[in-house]
Structure 1
Amino acid sequence: MLSMVGTPIGNLGDLSPRAADAFRAADVICCEDTRVTSKLLAHLGISKPLMRCDENVIAQRAPELVERVLAGERIAFASDAGMPSVSDPGQVLVEQAREAGASVEVIPGPSACVTALVLSGIPCDQFFFEGFLPRKHGERVRRLRRLAPVPGALIFYESPHRAEASLAAIAEVFPTRMVALCRELTKLHEEVLRAPAPELLEAVRERGELKGEMVIVVAAPSAEELEAWDSAGIIAGTGFAAVPATAEDRDAALTGAIKEALAAGDSANAIAKRLSQQFSMKKRDVYARVLELVE
């Protein structure tokens, strides 16, 4: 059995008894960072072999891990916090296990994106999880414009030193939308800052750099805004412009987008995740193309 285990995003009390049982039953625990997971296991009083499987090596180790599951071993996988595969390593391992016919289970646990969405007070009947925005301002703005017509709340992860820059891009593209900045989720100093995008940006600038991992939630577009974006030629309800019609044009566009993202310093996993959505391709195919261009 391959067990994908959700782990706390801050408060260790959120670890479920089933997650602890999965760790105790595992022959090996694969994790994003052995130092982080070893602390969690020490809290539980569990000692197990650990194997590092971060985004840089998980694709190479996945075949071996799947073979071990098929041979009868129990393997648990955990990212540093939250649910594996959700803006964290894990998806490629589950995909290969499914294709090989190996048994897979998910041990549900905390998720920063869902926690922030509910905590924000922003309507969440529909939402789109983006993960991290590009590093450069121009690329952030272009990406936000592509997401503008999505008829639901938008959720972004962000680090403390980039939060202000991301809020500046959001205020530029969505000046009338309500935005919530959620930080230190489930921890002692949990906080939600909520205001129209320009006002929130100003409030953050006045406070200076905030600490802790952050989630930004942007309200859905109004009917008037949707109509405006639709008139601009964006596919209504998707946030994406039409992809090139021919295979040659599509490949050229994909190659250009990958090179641009690599130049911006984005990781291969982040590029594959974002562009697989944009070009309606399998993530592993885009990931393979990224590796080709890196080499």
Structure 2
Amino acid sequence: MLAFAITLNACSDDATSSDMQDPSITEIAASNAQFSTLVGALQATGLDAALDGDGEFTVFAPTNDAFAALPEGTLESLTEEQLEAILLYHVLGAEVFSGQLEAQQAAQTLNGEEIFVTASGSSVTVNAAASVTTADIEARNGVIHVIDAVILPDAFGTIVDNAVKRYFLSSLVQAVIQADLVDALLGDGPFTVFAPTDEAFAAIASVAAGLTVEELTNVLLYHVIQGEVLSTDLQPTQQVTALNGETLTIEVSGGAATINGSAGITTV
């Protein structure tokens, strides 16, 4: 557990507790040596001032060891804009204590992307990568949860990374591992994956259970196309070739997209 010693000196004998302010998120981080890398990054981007000001924030705060675990040279290679995006990915624009977390939930961060939180008893994990080691450190402008890994926005991850961190794609991840397609999806790309959710896999559970590895591989490759295709690139009707050689028909109408007339694109 973290211990924070805060000494407040009264300015006069008649000073009251109302004259004293609890420390901000920035002040708490700056007072603890295990956050020195985080504090340096906040100062480099000017975010230290934001987290010292008014508001209600939740910060998932990586320790020095968490930053040190990144590949060598990662921090030094980042632009200020990239570093800011990563830091804001650790901050929620509301105060959320550990007891308020659901078993599985997505939460929007201040960089606009979502993080994916799973909670079971006293165990809390973010993006299937970072564990909360100390929760609910209260500040006057929010709360800090200490984490043991740096979490990264989608732009810094591979297709596999971005699937693994989404708890609702766990069946897809297991299928990719079973079909030995991890290396293929980490290889030369870019690729676009139409990723079935756990709910989609559950709907065909009896069929999927009977597939051979070869058949499973064929099914999975039918969900992948060569090239990066954003939702804004989709035409009202178009056909694309999947990596298994078969054709997918994509239709867009009223802002909704379907594949082969049935599967809807729910998240892009």
Larger helix proportion of the pair: 1
- Do these two structures clear the TM 0.5 threshold for a shared fold by scoring above it? no
The TM tier, using the shorter chain, reads under 0.3
Output the TM-score relative to the length of structure 1: 0.24
What TM-score comes out, normalization by structure 2 length?
0.26
- Structure number with the higher strand fraction is 2
